[in-house]
């Protein structure tokens, strides 16, 4: 298939590009400098030039706290950018794969969120992503809406690298222990996205590595894997105020992912070990 990847310079975009290239698809990888998805004319021109059968949108505004004071910028990319891609796909009959977030949910459940649960984002970033989902659902004729969470992987800033950096700088760290979610390795997510695209089963999917954890327990596993001696202390979200409120429980239910691609992603602990193995073998 002819695949066009937007946001190809980012952490997920790089992984997606490599995965589809490895499956012998014809891949056009466009970073922000080559395609600004907030420019409708540019989006239409790109689709006319490269004639993709499938567009995978990895472009996103991901600064959760900054979105509280820069909501317009978040909406431009996360909502209007998706609208532009959907409009162009409608004209060309291309399939649109859009990556969204667990932050479209309010976190007020004590069981995993399924694909039919009502969306009530609690922060500006989540609202911008929710608007993008609505544009996708109402405009794109054929689409995959994929929600994921807590991404880490090569080629970009992520929680693993943040914790490792802080561990080198400080003897004591505090990390919140009352926000639950699913860490997700971009390499595993990219493989699952390719499986979805090749399945032809359009719709809404939740894709994360298996297992739920808190940021504190995630950090503890990171430090243990790195052999760091940093003292780690759990704290509540109330003791660690941030501009943007976070959902307390945003674990995602993967049904019907296994029924579509034949497997679920490995546990996040396994993914973390593979990430560290790759780090040791590269110059990340």
Q: DSSP string covering 207-233, please?
A: ---B--EEHHHHHHHHHHHHT---EEE
Domain 2-156+183-210+250-266 has CATH 3.40.720.10: no
* pLDDT over 60 (residue 284): no
Between the alpha carbon of residue 45 and those of residues 37, 41, 88, 278, the distances in Å are 11, 6, 9, 37
What's the rounded mean pLDDT across residues 50-65? 99
Q: Kindly list the catalytic residues.
A: 125
Q: Per the structure block, which two tokens stand in for 25?
A: 């698809």
Q: What's the chain's average pLDDT? A: 98
Residue-wise pLDDT for 164-213, tens only, equals 999 999 999 999 999 999 999 999 999 999 999 999 999 999 999 999 99
**Rounded percentage of the chain residues whose pLDDT exceeds 90:** 97
Length of the chain (residues): 284
**Rounded percentage of the chain residues whose pLDDT exceeds 70:** 99
Beta bridge partners of 55: 4, 96
Q: Which residue blocks in 51-150 are alpha helix, DSSP H?
A: 71-75, 81-92, 124-139
* pLDDT over 90 (residue 104): yes
Residue 276's CB is within 10 A of a number of other CB atoms, namely: 15
Q: In this predicted structure, what is the pLDDT of residue 280? A: 82
């Amino acid at each position: 298939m002819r695949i066009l990847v937007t946001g190809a310079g980012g952490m997920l975009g790089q992984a997606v590009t490599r995965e589809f290239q490895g499956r012998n698809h014809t891949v056009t990888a466009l970073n922000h400098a080559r395609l600004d998805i907030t420019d409708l004319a540019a989006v239409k021109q790109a689709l006319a030039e490269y004639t993709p059968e499938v567009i995978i949108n990895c472009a996103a505004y991901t600064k959760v706290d900054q979105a509280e004071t820069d909501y317009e910028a978040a909406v431009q990319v996360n909502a209007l950018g998706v609208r532009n891609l959907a409009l162009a796909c409608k004209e060309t009959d291309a399939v649109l794969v859009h990556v969204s977030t667990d932050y479209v949910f309010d976190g007020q459940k004590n069981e995993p969120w399924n694909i039919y649960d009502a969306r009530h984002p609690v922060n500006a970033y989540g609202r911008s992503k929710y608007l993008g989902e609505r544009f996708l659902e109402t405009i794109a004729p054929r689409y995959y809406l994929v929600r994921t969470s807590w991404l880490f992987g090569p080629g970009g800033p992520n929680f693993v690298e943040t914790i490792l950096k802080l561990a080198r700088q400080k003897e004591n760290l505090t990390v919140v222990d009352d926000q639950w979610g699913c860490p997700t390795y971009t390499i595993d997510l990219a493989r699952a996205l390719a499986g979805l695209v090749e399945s032809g089963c359009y719709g809404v999917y939740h894709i994360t590595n298996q297992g739920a954890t808190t940021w504190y327990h995630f950090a503890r596993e990171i430090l243990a894997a790195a052999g760091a001696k940093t003292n780690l202390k759990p704290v509540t979200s109330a003791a660690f105020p941030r501009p943007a409120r976070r959902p307390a429980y945003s674990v995602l239910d993967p049904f019907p992912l296994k029924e579509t691609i034949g497997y679920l992603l490995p546990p996040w602990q396994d993914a973390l070990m593979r990430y560290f193995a790759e780090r040791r073998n590269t110059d990340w």
